[in-house]
């Protein structure tokens, strides 16, 4: 489900359009909907990284990747993402097919975030909010 077509849209603070996709900022988490076919590496993620740091600063936050489109992540650069976001306390992905579920499993071996996969956006948001309360 697209964020824009979900009840969540009424609670967002800001929407940022980037070179990789749309970022929906909420009080303590961001939902990313990356565009079809993009390749996400550390350099291409710079615009997103700057926006995330602008909104959350040093505060703990959650990141939700709403995988409505197919895209790739350069996992050999995972260590750079891990270092860049020490305050990312919850990382959720929402998978809509078997391929994105398998991608999550592979990425989990490289990214050191507290990470879980979900089949619905509502479940992912609930987990992120509960994790950040702890």
Q: In the prediction, which pLDDT does 109 show?
A: 53
Q: Would the pLDDT of 104 be above 70?
A: no
What confidence score (pLDDT) does residue 107 get?
A: 65
Report the predicted TM-score, pTM, of the whole model to 2 decimal places. 0.90
Backbone angles phi, psi at 29, to 5 degrees: -155, 165
The H or E element that residue 99 is part of is helix 98-108
E strand map for the chain: 14-17, 21-25, 29-34, 39-40, 61-66, 72-73, 88-94, 115-118
């Amino acid at each position: 489900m697209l964020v824009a077509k979900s009840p969540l849209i009424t609670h967002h603070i800001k929407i940022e359009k980037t070179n990789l996709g749309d970022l929906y900022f909420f009080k303590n988490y961001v939902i990313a909907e990356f565009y079809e076919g993009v390749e996400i590496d550390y350099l291409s993620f710079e615009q997103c990284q700057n926006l995330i740091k602008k909104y959350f600063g040093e505060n703990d936050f959650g990141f939700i990747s709403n995988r409505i489109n197919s895209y790739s992540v350069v996992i050999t650069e995972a260590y750079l993402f891990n270092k860049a976001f020490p305050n990312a306390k919850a990382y959720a992905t929402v998978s809509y097919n078997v391929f994105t579920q398998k991608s999550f499993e592979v990425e989990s071996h490289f990214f050191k975030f507290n990470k879980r996969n979900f089949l619905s956006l509502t479940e992912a948001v609930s987990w992120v909010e509960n994790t950040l309360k702890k």
